[in-house]
Amino acid sequence: MVGTGYVGLVTGTCFANTGNDVVCLDVDPEKIKVLEEGGCPIYESGLPELLAKNIEADRLTFTLDKEAAYQTAEVIFICVGTPTGEDGSADLQYVLAAARDVGAVIKALGPEQKPKIVVVKSTVPVGTTHKVRDAIREIVGPDVPFAVADNPEFLKEGAAVRDFNYPDRVILGVDDEETGVVLRQLYEPFVRSGNPIMVMDVLSAEMVKYASNNFLATKISYINEMAALCEAYGADVERVRRGMSADPRIGGKFLYPGLGYGGSCFPKDTRACIAMGEAKGVSTPLSQAVNDVNVMQRTRFFAKICSQFGEDLQGLKLAFWGIAFKPNTDDIREAPAITLMECCQRAGATCVAFDPVASENCARQHPGLCALVGNMYEAVEGADAVVVSTDWDEFKSPDFARMKSLMRTPVVFDGRNLYSTATARSQGLIVHSVGRQPVNV
Ligand SMILES: NC(=O)c1ccc[n+]([C@@H]2O[C@H](COP(=O)([O-])OP(=O)(O)OC[C@H]3O[C@@H](n4cnc5c(N)ncnc54)[C@H](O)[C@@H]3O)[C@@H](O)[C@H]2O)c1
């Protein structure tokens, strides 16, 4: 397993758990140290227990030693990051660096070796797996055998172990039948309930991942656009959402208005889709609009803060409940809370934040952005307003009276529509939410 991030570590642990011998490789000594000491470098429900079980059973090890890891592996999964590059396209430097490392080891093993399968699990633009193949081939020459495949991952952070163990589908993009057979065997234990393993060509497999993420991002931007219309016309988007969701053709998932999508996947994958179009002269106005609406959603929400306090936020103390881009994860990549805190800080406000698990990442990645406190009520002490930026369960039924008694002014910016307007009114709170009329007491 190349990369021990959210995908590599979960994949490696789950494959070990079905009886495979797995070596997890990373270039980050800190992560490997934590893992070797029996810790878990990411917050993911159920993962620490599964890690411990498989380390104990001697099926799961961790290393910084590329050569040793690649030499013995029969199947190599590349699970490194593919962040947005300067031009909006996916930055493939980590994927291709891993490919070259693999190439060097395969070359040294010579033409008689059992061919290794190099699987791209990272989310990559169509054609990347063949770039990986070409990069390895350039190093090893024509006579050394190996195969490549694409196997996009669909796990959700926060439910990653469950998603990996019970996938809706497994997508395998292969160039030859034999590779498909080996990978299918590896995944059979995970689809005993009958969910499909779909073997297809590499290019289509790569596209399945982008098409899926782009579609889900579209649903989120769509409901956010409808929320803006609801606000302008006096409708309540929560009622509208429920009305829409009752139609099975529409469904209710990913139809929650809020602060727009964040995280390490949707923002970069929609941008990568647009860049894929640009590279081939294919216009992608829908993907562009999905991205634009998402960016706009944060600006719109910040405008609500300014509508309450004016554009100069000097001297105000704003509390943030939630930093992670969604609940049940410590991932703060492209999190709306970060963008909003940056806007508020630029406008002069002081920010204080509480998150059940993401504070450490915030302190490390955004030092000086906000004061971090250990509980949600401490955050609102003396605050002029609280911004509910992540829908963690513990924010859903707060003690409103306690909040009111602690805050300088009882203003709530409910970025996740957690509170009913009736509750807000009965508790004497001033509440701004998304796609609903503000409650001004
Ligand atoms: N996070 C998700 O929910 C999710 C879901 C599906 C797909 N994906 C995709 O999977 C890929 C990985 O995502 P992630 O969130 O796990 O990333 P991550 O940033 O959490 O982890 C990537 C890891 O790879 C390591 N790495 C980089 N170069 C390396 C090298 N040459 N050798 C060994 N290790 C190396 C990094 O140190 C890091 O630990 C991305 O393409 C992402 O789009 C992510």
Find out whether the beta carbon of 8 lies less than 6 Å from any atom of ligand 1. Answer: yes
- For residue 418, the CA-to-ligand 1 centroid distance in Å is 32
DSSP secondary structure of 7-28: HHHHHHHHHHHTT--EEEE-S-
DSSP secondary structure of 101-145: HHHHHHHHH-TTSPPEEEEE-S---TTHHHHHHHHHHHHH-SSS-
- For residue 3, the CA-to-ligand 1 centroid distance in Å is 6
- For residue 252, the CA-to-ligand 1 centroid distance in Å is 30
- Which residue minimizes the CA distance to atom 31 of ligand 1? 98
Closest residue by Cα to residue 6 from 41, 54, 39, 30: 41
pLDDT for position 397:
96
Q: Which atom of ligand 1 is nearest to the CA of 2?
A: 33
Q: Bridge-partner residues for 198, per DSSP?
A: 171
- Which residue minimizes the CA distance to atom 7 of ligand 1? 153
- For residue 7, the CA-to-ligand 1 centroid distance in Å is 6
DSSP secondary structure of 48-64: HHHHHHHHHTT-EEEES
DSSP secondary structure of 286-306: HHHHHHHHHHHHHHHHHHHHH
Say what the pTM is: 0.96
Find out whether the beta carbon of 26 lies less than 6 Å from any atom of ligand 1. Answer: yes
- For residue 398, the CA-to-ligand 1 centroid distance in Å is 36
Task: Identify the H or E element spanning 424.
Answer: helix 421-426
- For residue 210, the CA-to-ligand 1 centroid distance in Å is 16
Q: Bridge-partner residues for 412, per DSSP?
A: 386, 431
Residues 147-157 as b/e (b if ≥16 CB within 10 A, e otherwise) read bbbbbbbbbeb
- For residue 6, the CA-to-ligand 1 centroid distance in Å is 7
Q: Bridge-partner residues for 197, per DSSP?
A: 170
Find out whether the beta carbon of 98 lies less than 6 Å from any atom of ligand 1. Answer: yes
Contact predicate 186/20, CB 8 Å: yes
State the Cα–Cα distance between residues 218 and 214, nearest whole angstrom: 6
Best residue among 1, 2, 4, 7 to mutate for probing ligand 1, ranked by most atoms within 8 Å of CB = 7
Strand order in the sheet with 350-354: 371-372, 350-354, 317-321, 385-388, 411-414, 430-432
Q: Which atom of ligand 1 is nearest to the CA of 265?
A: 43
Find out whether the beta carbon of 125 lies less than 6 Å from any atom of ligand 1. Answer: no
265 a catalytic residue: yes
Domains of the chain: 6-200 (3.40.50.720), 296-432 (3.40.50.720)
Find out whether the beta carbon of 79 lies less than 6 Å from any atom of ligand 1. Answer: yes
Q: Which atom of ligand 1 is nearest to the CA of 8?
A: 16
Six-digit token pair at 161?
């172990």
Contact predicate 132/146, CB 8 Å: no
pLDDT for position 194:
94
Best residue among 14, 26, 95, 136 to mutate for probing ligand 1, ranked by most atoms within 8 Å of CB = 26
Over its length of 441 residues, how does the chain's per-residue pLDDT go in tens digits?
999 999 999 999 999 999 999 999 999 999 999 999 999 999 999 999 999 999 999 999 999 999 999 999 999 999 999 999 999 999 999 999 999 999 999 999 999 999 999 999 999 999 999 999 999 999 999 999 999 999 999 999 999 999 999 999 999 999 999 999 999 999 999 999 999 999 999 999 999 999 999 999 999 999 999 999 999 999 999 999 999 999 999 999 999 999 999 999 999 999 999 999 999 999 999 999 999 999 999 999 999 999 999 999 999 999 999 999 999 999 999 999 999 999 999 999 999 999 999 999 999 999 999 999 999 999 999 999 999 999 999 999 999 999 999 999 999 999 999 999 888 889 999 999 999 999 886
- Which residue minimizes the CA distance to atom 4 of ligand 1? 7
Q: What is the pLDDT of residues 178-207, one digit of tens each?
A: 999 999 999 999 999 999 999 999 999 999
| Per annotation, catalytic residue among 265, 273, 343, 370 | 265
